[in-house]
């Protein structure tokens, strides 16, 4: 899988850039090797592809169980590329062990703290899983903010279409900075939320304000 990913990644990235207007900022912040957790917002089915493009490393994503059993091809594809299945109705013990082992081997684990695709930023409060993995392994946590992927294969725009996409890798959150906190994982996720909202919040709030103006003063 790693060999295939290494060979396929440049081609996939080339194709994605031809299909979408993609701009990635902060890629230099992510280490070229060593364990790390990437925690991103989740707006579309293509988010894992974009997140992997930002990393330029093989990212194993925690994937919620309801994504599976819809298409044999889709199931086999995401499992081949390292997705770690979790299930809402049972404790994710096996998934957690797999993620911890991958981080222990110096790998990258991708987490969507919102837990599912959302129609807009701020719709779901973040879970603590990303912070817990970071604290348990000492791996830094990188907030990854994405904007624009809601325009294709998202909750509102369900069709595949061209759309501008922007992605930002923000400054790392180091688990050692939270060890003295009364609630380390809670404090880390609060900082993740603050960083993400600082990047994404203004766009979504401006969109809502513009929509309200159009309702009050229709053209």
Distance CA 198, CA 219 (A): 31
pLDDT, one tens digit per residue, over 75-109 is: 555 555 567 777 666 667 888 898 999 999 999 99
Q: Distance from CA of residue 82 to its chain's centroid?
A: 15
- Beta-strand relationship, 36-40 and 141-147: parallel
Q: Which residues contact 29 (CB under 8 A, 6 or more apart)?
A: 142, 169, 170, 171, 172
pLDDT, one tens digit per residue, over 33-49 is: 999 999 999 999 888 88
Evaluate whether the domain defined by 2-216 bears CATH number 3.40.1130.10. Answer: yes
- Beta-strand relationship, 164-169 and 141-147: antiparallel
Q: Which residues contact 102 (CB under 8 A, 6 or more apart)?
A: 60, 84, 108, 109
pLDDT, one tens digit per residue, over 13-69 is: 777 777 888 999 999 999 999 999 999 999 998 888 888 888 888 888 887 654 545
Phi-psi group of 216: left, alpha or beta (phi > 0 → left; psi -120 to 50 → alpha; rest → beta): alpha
pTM, full prediction: 0.85
Identify whether the C-beta of residue 146 lies closer than 8 Å to the C-beta of residue 51: yes
Distance CA 46, CA 111 (A): 14
């Amino acid at each position: 899988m790693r060999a295939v990913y290494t060979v396929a990644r440049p081609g996939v990235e080339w194709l994605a850039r031809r299909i979408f207007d993609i701009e990635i900022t902060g890629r230099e912040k992510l280490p070229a090797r060593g364990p790390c957790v990437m925690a991103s917002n989740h707006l579309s089915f293509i988010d894992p592809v974009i997140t992997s493009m930002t990393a330029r490393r093989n990212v194993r994503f925690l994937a919620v169980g309801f994504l599976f059993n819809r298409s044999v091809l889709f199931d086999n594809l995401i499992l081949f590329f390292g997705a770690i299945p979790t299930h809402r109705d049972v404790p994710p013990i096996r998934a957690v062990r797999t993620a911890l082992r991958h981080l222990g081997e110096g790998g990258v684990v991708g987490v969507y703290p919102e837990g599912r695709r959302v129609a807009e930023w701020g719709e779901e409060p973040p879970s603590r899983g990303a912070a817990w993995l970071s604290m348990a392994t000492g791996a830094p946590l990188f907030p990854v903010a994405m904007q624009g992927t809601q325009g294709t294969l998202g909750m509102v725009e369900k069709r595949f279409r061209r759309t501008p996409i922007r992605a930002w890798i923000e400054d790392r959150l180091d688990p050692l900075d939270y060890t003295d906190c009364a609630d380390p994982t809670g404090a880390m996720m609060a900082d993740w939320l603050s960083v993400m909202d600082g990047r994404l919040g203004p766009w979504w709030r401006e969109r809502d304000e513009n929509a309200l103006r159009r309702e009050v003063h229709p053209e």
